[in-house]
Structure 1
Amino acid sequence: MPVPDFVLPAALAQLLGKLPSTPPAWLLCRGLNQLAARGILPLEHELLAGRSFTIRVLDARLALHLRFERQAFVPCAALPAPDLQLSATLADFARLLLREEDPDTLFFHRRLQIEGDTELGLIVKNLLDSVDWHDTPLARFMTP
């Protein structure tokens, strides 16, 4: 089932924007670390070590801040200048994760914004492209 084209309602976005970002950042880190531990997410530890990331969900007014330390993703405080910042709407992040759209298409249509270290951005893009999402719980939502 394809992800519908939607934008979160303004009232919900305003509420989400006021909530602390640490719990969702912790969930994201936990999920990424679990995928890595299961061999689904092939991390290049030496290339990610000490790097900082911000994931901005534009329509939710949510920014998740994380670092890669001691071979794991960990949530961190807001970063004035992360090494890499990825920004998109919730629907576009869902399309990316469910492989309905690839990162290049979203980027060239200006629906995925990538700021910061270009080389790190390519590493992360290639990392996402290498994941076999059929080995994850997301598989049941993926189109055949």
Structure 2
Amino acid sequence: MQNPSTPAYRIPEPVARVLGRLPRYPGSVLFVTGLNLVLARHLHPDTLHRLEGRSLRIHVADAGLRFDYTWRDGAFRAARHDVAEPDLTFRADAWDFHCLLQRREDPDTLFFSRRLVIEGDTELGLMVKNTLDSIDMAVFHPKAILRDLLAGQRHRLRFR
């Protein structure tokens, strides 16, 4: 019988061992590319100001993946947090991150069931969590992403 606090799916251990050996930085570059394409334009300027220079990490525990990044000079940037711990880390299994993005699970529910761990600066963690809660998840739908990218391309072409 499955414990209700246990995710419905976990990355298989052999796959996690392989993923955990991948170098972090290239993965972080890909991760921030997605953040910049999809998320950055939907964040309030006050939020971005508060993120300036702060080090952040997404840790996908069951996959052994870590994505280190920061907001600097108007964009998310890949970072290397090898020397010091980041200001803020969100840690969960892949399934739980998926459920958060799909709004199938509430972050507070995952947090209190210990499936989402937030480490570091508490105030920064609450600000990031509340900001993500306030974003309409429809912006992550592939059609919306493609529409936004095409609109951005037309805008750049028009003003060159």
Q: TM-score with structure 1 length normalisation?
A: 0.86
The DSSP-based 3-state class of the residue aligned with 2:35 is helix
Match of 2:100 among 89, 96, 101: 96
Rg larger in structure: 2
- What's the offset of the Cα at 1:139? 7.6
Give 1:40's aligned amino acid. Answer: H
Do 1:7 and 1:90's aligned partners in 2 also have CA atoms closer than 8 Å? yes
Q: Distance in 2 between matches of 1:130 and 1:27?
A: 24
Aligned-residue Cα RMSD (Å) equals 1.9
Equivalent residue, structure 2, for 1:137: 141
Q: Which has the higher helix share?
A: 2
Give 2:85's aligned amino acid. Answer: A
Match of 2:130 among 120, 123, 126: 126
Equivalent residue, structure 2, for 1:113: 117
The DSSP-based 3-state class of the residue aligned with 1:53 is strand
Moved more, 39-48 or 77-86: 39-48
Q: Distance in 2 between matches of 1:49 and 1:21?
A: 22
Unaligned runs of 5+ in 1: none
Matched residue count: 136
Do 1:85 and 1:116's aligned partners in 2 also have CA atoms closer than 8 Å? yes
The DSSP-based 3-state class of the residue aligned with 2:114 is coil
The DSSP-based 3-state class of the residue aligned with 2:76 is strand
Q: Distance in 2 between matches of 1:40 and 1:91?
A: 24
Q: Distance in 1 between matches of 2:138 and 2:75?
A: 23
Equivalent residue, structure 2, for 1:53: 56
Residues 12-91 of structure 1 aligned to structure 2 (within 5 Å): 12-37=15-40, 39-42=41-44, 44-79=47-82, 80-91=84-95
Do 2:59 and 2:89's aligned partners in 1 also have CA atoms closer than 8 Å? yes
Q: TM-score with structure 2 length normalisation?
A: 0.78
Q: Distance in 2 between matches of 1:101 and 1:125?
A: 13
